[in-house]
Amino acid sequence: MCLKTIKTLAFMALICMSAEIAHAVAPANALITNTATMTYTGLASPILASVDVRVSLVTAAPTVTVVAANVTIAENQTGTLEYTITANANGPDNYTINAPTNIASNVTINGTPVASVAFIPLGATALAVAMVAGSNTLTVPSDRVADGQVNGITSGDTIVMLGQTYTVATVIDNAAGNSTITLTTHVPTALVLGTLVAEQAVFTVAQNMGLVAAGATQGINDVTVTASSSNNQISAAATGRMTVLHIAFQKWVSVNGGAFTQATPNVGTGNTITYRLLTIIPMATTINGVVFQDAIPIFTTYVANSTRIDTDGPHVTTAVLTPVADINGTTPLVQAGGLAVNSTGQAAGTIAATAALAAEVSVEFQVTID
């Protein structure tokens, strides 16, 4: 049994009695006060003798994870992957996001991967008092400075305890003794004193992709990220994937209302030709600023008011077409700026495919052979 009366922070109390506390964390900046007493016969009150020690920062490599392992984009679009970084140190530290690397297959790249930030400060502390299940109040050691944050943790931050994430609602930051962190939600399980309270942050890595290789329907681009502590301890690598999908653009032709084809038909003077412009956007992708342009071929005459659009098909033969008004007596496809097209329900120029279905948009116009 310990003979000393220990007046110290609760995260050190009973450490010699409980194997459960063997992995407890002593937070940086905490002041540990150890007080011994002596009594003897005739002494009215004990004689006290104290000594203080202050806990130093022990740096550690952070944990980096990718939030969504795969994002899908169209050709010539910028893909963005989201990552989290979580502190593992016993106190606040500044972490470097190392230059991301990538490996691309079946797709060209238009630029290097770029992280949204170069450095991320993260706080960390530990419980000074065990928590009962259902509580949302953390008691942690003061960091000795009353500045509205405790070891770098303040309101609005995301923290991690034993692998579970929580949001900080408020912080009562005292200059001595203990401080209090209140969470927006309650902790479902009991937590022992010394449990690490680590801040987590989110950053992104973006890269502009090029064209999918000829003959391929998609390419892949794997982006790998690490982060380092201030003492250059490097995290394990986290890799996310960008799947880059080919955007199809086709032109079909029909003679006198016959079947559409991409072959070369024979036509005679006076025949009516219908041209169909078709784009197919792979599922789960969106492209913006989409414009169709075309020209009236030589030896033909545009058929007035023949321009029509299908915003939710047409799968080549099942178009449901809506008239598009002529401009200056001809199709808007030949005007400066062309015709902005969209899928159903989208703004002009935006084509968006659902997670389950590709989006197809077509525009038709007619000419007669002179």
Confidence of residue 133 (pLDDT cuts 50, 70, 90): very high
Answer yes or no: is pLDDT of 277 > 90: yes
337 lies in the same domain as 282: yes
Distance CA 295, CA 107 (A): 31
78 lies in the same domain as 204: yes
The pLDDT value given to residue 319: 60
Residue 292 near residue 338, CB atoms below 8 Å:
yes
126 lies in the same domain as 241: yes
Answer yes or no: is pLDDT of 289 > 90: yes
164 lies in the same domain as 307: no
Total domains in the chain come to 2
* Of the residues 245, 261, 279, the one at which a domain ends: 245
For residue 150, give the DSSP letter.
B
237 HSE (CA, 13 A, CB side): 10
Amino acid at site 59? T
Q: pLDDT tens-digit profile of 14-25?
A: 333 333 333 578
Write b or e for each residue in 226-263: b if 16 or more Cβ atoms lie within 10 A of its Cβ, otherwise e: bbbbeeebebeebbbbbbbbbbeeeebbbbeeeebeee
Q: Does 142 fall in a domain?
A: yes
The pLDDT value given to residue 320: 78
Distance CA 285, CA 80 (A): 13
Q: Which residue has the higher pLDDT, 137 or 285?
A: 137
Q: pLDDT tens-digit profile of 11-52?
A: 343 333 333 333 578 998 888 889 899 999 999 999 999 888
Reading the block at residue 52, the tokens are: 């203080």
144 lies in the same domain as 254: no
Q: What angle do CA 286, 292, 296 make, to 5 degrees?
A: 165
Q: Does 357 fall in a domain?
A: yes
The pLDDT value given to residue 54: 85
The residue among 206, 277, 204, 287 whose CA lies nearest residue 245 is 287
Amino acid at site 220? I
Confidence of residue 135 (pLDDT cuts 50, 70, 90): very high
What does the chain come to in residues? Answer: 370
Question: Of 43-57, 65-79, 109-123, 305-319, which gets the smallest average pLDDT?
Answer: 305-319
The pLDDT value given to residue 7: 37
Percentages of the chain per state (helix, strand, coil), in multiples of 5: 0, 45, 55
76 lies in the same domain as 113: yes
278 lies in the same domain as 294: yes
Residue 136 near residue 185, CB atoms below 8 Å:
yes
| Sequence-separated (6 or more) residues with CB below 8 Å from residue 11 | 24, 25, 26, 27, 30, 126, 127, 128, 141, 193, 194
The pLDDT value given to residue 10: 36
* Of the residues 245, 271, 299, the one at which a domain ends: 245
Answer yes or no: is pLDDT of 155 > 70: yes
Confidence of residue 318 (pLDDT cuts 50, 70, 90): low
The pLDDT value given to residue 103: 97
241 lies in the same domain as 255: no
The residue among 301, 194, 256, 245 whose CA lies nearest residue 79 is 245
The residue among 150, 158, 95, 154 whose CA lies nearest residue 125 is 150
Q: Alpha-carbon torsion 71, 72, 73, 75, what sign?
A: positive
228 lies in the same domain as 104: yes
138 lies in the same domain as 178: yes
3-class DSSP assignment, residue 311: coil
Cα dist from 31 to 87, 193, 251, 363, whole Å? 21, 16, 75, 73
Amino acid at site 187? V
The pLDDT value given to residue 32: 83
* Of the residues 202, 223, 245, the one at which a domain ends: 245
Q: pLDDT tens-digit profile of 191-235?
A: 999 999 999 999 999 999 999 999 899 999 999 999 999 999 999
The pLDDT value given to residue 313: 67
Range of the domain at 286: 248-369
Confidence of residue 283 (pLDDT cuts 50, 70, 90): confident
* pTM of the model as a whole: 0.79
For residue 92, how many other CB atoms are within 10 A of its CB? 23
